[in-house]
Amino acid sequence: MTQAIRLAINGASGRMGRALLALIREDRRFELVHAVVSAGSEHDGTPVFGELSTSLRYTHDWSAAPGADVVVDFSGPDGLSAALAHCIEHRIALVTGTTGIDATIEAQLDDAARRIAVLRAANFSLGVAVLTRLLREAAAALPDWDLEIVEAHHGRKEDAPSGTALALGHAAATARGTTLEKDGVYVREGRPGARRSGNIGFAVVRGGDVVGEHTALLLGHGERVELSHRATDRSIFARGALEAAAWLAGQKPGSYSIDDLLQTRHAKAAL
């Protein structure tokens, strides 16, 4: 029998942390060895799975953490910094979806990739990763077609366009040899004039309980191509993070993405 992957979760009481815990109980690939929450959390010191006897308990630090093969982090900048230091010291792979980090932590992650395997993603949906790859190829193959990206999310989402929409835009722009800073268009109202060739436009929809929808429209003369992804269950992001963790645990030091995981799968399928 293959030995279970020893997993630690950072940000274990957050939305993504709870989703990971719900999945890991049924996933025999993993053994949960550590569950970290923020200092002062109401969960600190309580049993992770509710049993009162010998169950694993939430903790706010890494000082007594047992050995692990990989850490999955969905916390915040401070939480990520602490987890990163622990991973570097003990040579543990790190999967992180934490956003809003500053240049200092960015540099720390880049430096850490020389000593440990680090996988970062703004969106852990495997479907979105495939969508990004398809859009990259389509944008390069159809360089003269107009490109618009439409995204929809629930009414409580505060940022716009979504991070995933922007990531799609960056991928398409790079494929066309340009940047969003140069060709991205985020607002159209009044009389903005005719569409400029090469622009990558964004449109935003907010309302209801939409988990997340992204569509890239490539519009030519007399025809168009639509590439879409619709998320109907938030658990897909946790599932993707666990797939990334299972894959990353066996990788050499370096900086990785979800696309690297997909490439490995594609290569194995081609054998």
Catalytic residues: 153, 157
Q: What is the CA radius of gyration of the chain?
A: 20
d(CA 224, CA 221): 8
Q: What is the DSSP letter of 49?
A: S
Please report how the helices 235-248 and 258-270 are oriented relative to each other, as an axis angle in degrees rounded to 10: 70
